A and B are shown apart, each in its own frame.
Chain A
Amino acid sequence: MVRKVLELENIEYSHDDGHQIFSNFNLTINDGETVGIVGSNGTGKTTMFLLSTGIYQPKKGQIRLLGKKVSPRKFNPSIGMVFQNQDDQLFSPSVYEDIAFGLLNMGFDNVAVEKKASKIMDRLNISHLKNKQPHHLSGGEKRLVAIAGVLVMEPEFIIWDEPTSNLDMRYRRRLIDIIKDSQQSAMMIASHDLEFILEVCNRVILLDNGQIILDGPPKKVLRNELVLSQHGIEIPFSLKQFN
């Protein structure tokens, strides 16, 4: 039987201004799935992510991570999130301290933290940035440090919010390699970069107005020109050629 990593059941959520984002929303992500979430701006992607992590609390419904109920705003190292704007995520005085932040909060001692942080920095090829101040790094370097800070905690489930935004081709390729090499049980990725989604995901969901419009294998979902265009999405160029 396939293990369920994330379950959102009958979720209802509205913003403080009363604008309803989700009503009776259901989603299950299973072990081994890398789920691409596509949709126009303002369709509820980031809200869904913040609900999944427990940062936002649904008005109704249940959220379970690895079978356990997600408690609101409670630290859960099984889930990690790479934010859309890396500046929101890099708050420590140095790159090393930022990477070590989560590990120390998990209770690892300094020796273990040093070992794990060095390993992830080597893996992402950012060891030379160890003592630099995060706000003095380039956009691509910041993104890699933000990713390192999440990957080092070895969460079972990772959420990536627009990971390719503002990245040049070189850093985009490095990011694809990192995601493909990830050992996580499951991942959820929101992106407008559909070629990227095609390359890294094995399941794609089209989200609009807080509802799942399409759900299936990437090539099947992203070839559905009619439905995609109805929801403001163009099919990727690589698929267009063979459609």
Chain B
Amino acid sequence: MIHIHSSVEEHVHLVSPIHQLDTRFKLIGMLFLIFSFAFISKIELLIFSIFVSFFILTISKLPFRFVLQRIKLPGLLIFMVAIVTLFFSEGSAVFHLGPLSVTKEGIHSFILILVRFISIMMLMVVLLGSTSIIQIIKAMRDLKLPTLLCDMIFFSYRYIFELGNDLKTMHIAMNMRGFRSKSILSIPTFALLSGSLLIRSYEQSDRVYNAMTLRGYGQNSNYYKQETSYTLVDCIWLIILILLSAFILCIEFGPY
């Protein structure tokens, strides 16, 4: 059998102050900071946000290459959006590139989009890279998020590997029968492959639900109760991040 494992979790066993934090506190703190970063529009705060993200990344001891790998693909998409904004924003023109003019507002938006994205993504990568998905889902359950939502996230994570394994096996089987995915003619084959996977996953979800029902799924609301223990460090971390977020929002929206 072919096995696919999560590469996102390859550094969750590192030892760092970030790795050792209680997942619930880490999750809330990071989300506060991420939301405050999303509101930033002032250049000074952008510099501050990237500094904070970089600092958190450094103390998490996650390899910078790992972060770059995670940011690369979504970064490309965001970069394209930022380029469009750079050339098509209205305002006072700074210079011209053929028929296109680059405005002061365009440059501001370009920097804003990219820096905000990098700051937020760095925090996301630290969060996901220092905690297993399972721990995050458990923390979400502890934080009283709807059980159905947590279950859906967990099952998506759990069965994505099954689907990945199926896809890989089917792809190998196709290749062994002479299929080469090089031309545009292979698109219909990929469409059939996707359809087959979709049906398989639908049927499997039915079987999983049957198995869960037989073992009493939904009978006991206490099933998701976890041990609750946290330290002073967890509390200090959370307070610092909430204060940082409040500081950013005060500067952003305050009369300064």
Q: Mark B204-234, 1 if CB is under 8 A from A, else 0.
A: 1001101111111111101100000000000
Given A94-B134, A104-B220, A105-B220: A88 and B215 interface contact (C-beta under 8 Å): no
Q: Which residues from A are CB-within-8-Å of B207?
A: 83, 85, 88
B1-54 residues with Cβ-Cβ distance < 8 A to A are 1, 3, 5
* Most A-side CB within 10 Å, residue of B154, B215, B219: B215
Is A80 an interface residue when CB atoms closer than 8 A count as contact?
Answer: yes
Q: How many angstroms between the C-alpha atoms of A34 and B222 in the bound complex?
A: 35
Query: By the criterion CB–CB under 8 Å, are B154 and A93 in contact?
Result: yes
CB distance B217 to A105 under 8 Å? yes
Chain B residues in 8 Å Cβ range of A94? 134
* Chain B neighbourhood of A88, CB < 8 A: 204, 207-208, 210-211
CA distance A107 to B137 in the complex (A): 23
Q: Is B252 an interface residue (CB 8 A)?
A: no
A81 to B212, CA, bound (A): 11
Contact assessment for B158 and A101 in the assembled complex, using a CB-CB cutoff below 8 Å: no
A91 interfacial contact with B, CB 8 Å: yes
- Cβ of A106: which chain B residues have Cβ within 8 Å of it? 216, 219-220
Residue of B nearest to A149 (CB): B215
Total number of A-B contacts with CB less than 8 angstroms?
Answer: 72
| Cα(A198)–Cα(B11), bound, Å | 50
- Quick check: A135 and B134 within 8 Å, CB to CB? no
Residues of the A chain whose Cβ atoms lie less than 8 Å from the Cβ of B155: 91
Instruction: State in angstroms the CA–CA spacing of A93 and B155 once bound together.
Output: 9
Contact with B along A126-159 (1 / 0, CB 8 A): 0000000101100100000000011001000000
Find out whether the CB atom of A135 lies under 8 angstroms from the CB atom of B162.
yes
Q: Which of A79, A80, A85, A91 has the most CB of B within 10 A?
A: A91
Q: Are B215 and A153 in contact (CB under 8 A)?
A: yes
For the complex, give the distance between the alpha carbons of A158 and B176 in Å: 41
- A75 near B211: Cβ-Cβ < 8 Å: no
Instruction: Report whether A102 and B204 are in contact in the complex, using a CB–CB cutoff of 8 Å.
Output: no
Using known A-B contacts A93-B134, A133-B134, determine if residue A102 contacts B216 with beta carbons closer than 8 Å: yes
Interface size class of A (residues with CB under 8 A): 20 to 34
Interface residues of B in 58-117 (CB under 8 A from A): none
Any A CB within 8 A of the CB of B161? yes
Q: Which residues of B contact A91 (CB under 8 A)?
A: 155, 158, 208, 211-212
Q: How far is the CA of A153 from the CA of B216 in the complex (A)?
A: 11
Chain B residue nearest to A56 (CB atoms) is B210
How far, in Å, is A158 (CB) from chain B's closest CB? 11
Which listed residue, B5, B154, B216, B222, touches A75 by the CB 8 Å rule? B216
Asked, given contacts A80-B214, A93-B154, whether A105 binds B219 with beta carbons under 8 Å apart, the answer is yes
Q: Are A135 and B158 in contact (CB under 8 A)?
A: yes
Question: A83 to B220, Cβ gap below 8 A?
Answer: no
CB < 8 Å: which of B137, B204, B216 contacts A105?
B216
Cβ of A53 within 8 Å of any chain B Cβ, yes or no, is: yes
Q: Bound state CA distance, A50 and B207, in angstroms?
A: 10
Residues in B whose Cβ lies below 8 Å from that of A53: 214
Neighbour of A55 across the interface among B138, B208, B213, B222, CB < 8 A? B213
Query: Within A186-214, which residues are at the interface with B (CB < 8 Å)?
Result: none
CA distance A104 to B224 in the complex (A): 9
**Restricting to B146-201, which residues have a CB under 8 Å from any CB of A?**
154-155, 158, 161-162
Cβ contacts under 8 Å, A87 to chain B: 162, 204
A217 contacts partner chain B, Cβ-Cβ < 8 Å? no
Task: Give the CA-CA distance A55 to B223 in the complex, in Å.
Answer: 22
- Which residues 83-130 of A sit at the B interface, judged by CB distance below 8 A? 83, 85, 87-89, 91, 93-94, 101-102, 104-107
Q: Knowing A55-B214, A79-B214, A107-B220, say if A136 contacts B134 (CB, 8 Å).
A: no
Q: Which residues from A are CB-within-8-Å of B223?
A: 101, 104-105
Q: Please name 9 further chain A to chain B contacts, defined as beta carbons within 8 Å, in addition to the given A105-B215, A133-B134, sorted by A numbering.
A: A55-B210, A75-B215, A75-B217, A91-B208, A91-B211, A105-B217, A106-B216, A107-B219, A153-B215
Measured CB to CB, the residues of A under 8 A from B are 50, 53, 55, 73, 75, 77, 79-81, 83, 85, 87-89, 91, 93-94, 101-102, 104-107, 133, 135-136, 139, 149-150, 153
The 4 closest A-B pairs by CB, nearest first: A105-B216, A102-B215, A88-B207, A93-B134
